[in-house]
Amino acid sequence: MRDRNFDDIAEKFSRNIYGTTKGQLRQAILWQDLDMLFASLPQRPLRVLDAGGGEGQTACRVAKLGHQVTLCDLSAEMIARARQHALQEGVSENMHFVQCAAQDVAQHLESPVDLILFHAVLEWVAEPKAVLEHLWRCLAPGGALSLMFYNAHGLLMHNMVAGNFPYVQQGMPKKKKRSLSPDYPREPQQVYGWLEEIGWRIASKTGVRVFHDYLREKHQQRDDYETLLELETRYCRQEPWISLGRYIHVTAFKPETQG
- CA distance to 139, 172, 216, 240, 255, per residue, from 205 (Å): 20, 25, 26, 12, 18
DSSP β-bridge partners for residue 204? 251
Q: Quick one: CA dihedral 77, 60, 26, 16, positive or negative?
A: negative
For 97-149, write each residue's pLDDT tens digit. 999 999 999 999 999 999 999 999 999 999 999 999 999 999 999 999 999 99
Report which residue type is found at 218.
K
pLDDT band at 4 (very low <50, low <70, confident <90, very high): low
Asked if the model's pLDDT at residue 9 lies above 70, the reply is: no
Predicted confidence band at 257 (pLDDT cuts at 50, 70, 90)?
Answer: confident
Residue 259 has pLDDT above 50, yes or no: no
How far is the C-alpha of 222 from the C-alpha of 212, rounded, in Å? Answer: 10
Can you give the pLDDT at residue 181?
81
| Position 19 confidence tier, pLDDT thresholds 50, 70, 90 | confident
Q: In what order do the strands lie in the sheet with 68-73?
A: 95-99, 68-73, 47-51, 113-119, 139-150, 247-253, 201-208
Those residues whose C-beta lies under 8 Å from the C-beta of residue 195, and which sit 6 or more positions away, are: 132, 145, 147, 202, 250, 252
Mean pLDDT highest for which of 58-72, 163-177, 244-258?
58-72
Please return the burial class of 41, using the count of CB atoms within 10 Å of its CB with bins 0-12, 13-18 and 19+: middle
CA atoms of 142 and 256, how far apart (whole Å): 4
Task: Please give the DSSP secondary-structure letter assigned to residue 46.
Answer: P
pTM: 0.91
Per the DSSP assignment, residues forming a β-bridge with 115 are 48, 144
Top mean pLDDT of 14-23, 180-189, 238-247, 249-258 is at 238-247
CA distance 133 to 145: 12
List the Cα angle 144/150/154 in 5-degree steps.
125
Report the alpha-carbon distance of residue 52 to residue 120 in Å, rounded. 8
Instruction: Give dist(CA 130, CA 127) in Å, integer.
Output: 6
